[in-house]
Amino acid sequence: MRYQLFAMFLLFAVPSFGQNISKYGHAPVAVNGRIELPHFGDKYSNYVQQLESGETTIDYADFRNSFLESDQVFKKGMVYPGNSTVYDSLRQRIPVELDKGKYQRVVDLAKAMLSIDYTSLYAHMYLQKASAVLGDTVTRNKYRNIEFGLLASIAASGDGLSCATAWHITQIEDEDFLISVVKGEFMGEATVLSQQNKSIDSTGGATPKQNRCDIITVHGTKRTFYFEINKMMQLEMKMLGFKEE
């Protein structure tokens, strides 16, 4: 199933072209056509600098996790929806520019998104596709490789068919992106019929502390998807001031 999923990524992620700052937010990022590199001296910062230099062969699963472990995550805001952040406003502006055919503006907005969160699937997707339209093959290839590296790391983490074999994600918007790929279309948000959150152990039984997953049934597919959110829950507990046991 995980390889079928990645095949769908390749099929749909290539031709499709989508449509109050929280207390953890920050001042607006300049939309200046440049990606501002993080300089925290941590694993996330090192990965971003490596990728920007063109070295795209990295451990993408570790890279995604490193974002949640970096102080950079506080520049984006909470990883859960419900608060409006600078990143959210940038992402919401892109479909407007697409409708106007302003692809250079899309490139600039996507780079501003990456200045906040370089693990963003949406930002890499928008950037590589707008660059392709503009005829910038070098940029298109670079960010396409990064996008697919991120996608492949999720596909390799499980088959998404149960909590025990759920896809490992680090942000809620990853769920939206993957569900859109599986449906064969890109939407602003996934249409969710039902959502649950529970703890499981390696055999699928309920436990109070171990693996946590989101269970989402999507309208129009009659399919249920399972997303493992351990790292997200750890970050939430950290933000709320709880210590790990």
Tens of pLDDT, residue by residue over 208-233, are 345 688 888 766 667 788 899 999 88
CB atoms within 10 A of CB 101: 9
Looking at the predicted structure, is the pLDDT value of residue 179 above 90? no
The predicted pLDDT at position 194 comes to 43
Please tell me the predicted confidence (pLDDT) of residue 206.
Answer: 40
Cα Rg, the chain, nearest whole Å: 17
pLDDT tens, residue by residue, 85-112: 889 999 999 999 999 999 999 999 999 9
pLDDT at 15 over 70: no
Mean pLDDT of 148-153: 96
More confident residue, 2 or 170: 170
Segment among 68-72, 80-84, 186-190 with least mean pLDDT: 186-190
Question: Does residue 55 surpass a pLDDT of 60?
Answer: yes
* Residue scoring higher pLDDT (31 or 7): 31
Which two three-digit tokens encode residue 192?
A: 């969710």
Residue 188: band (very low, low, confident or very high) from pLDDT cuts 50, 70, 90: very low
- Name which of 116, 114, 136 is nearest 125 in CA terms: 114
Mean pLDDT of 38-48: 97
Going by pLDDT thresholds of 50, 70 and 90, the confidence category of residue 30 is: low
User: Model's pTM, two decimal places?
Assistant: 0.79
Domain ranges in the chain are 2-155, 167-239
Backbone angles phi, psi at 195, to 5 degrees: -145, 135
Q: Which of 23-27, 38-42, 137-141, 182-186 has the lowest mean pLDDT?
A: 23-27
Cβ 134 vs Cβ 104: under 8 Å: yes
**162 token code pair:** 């149960």
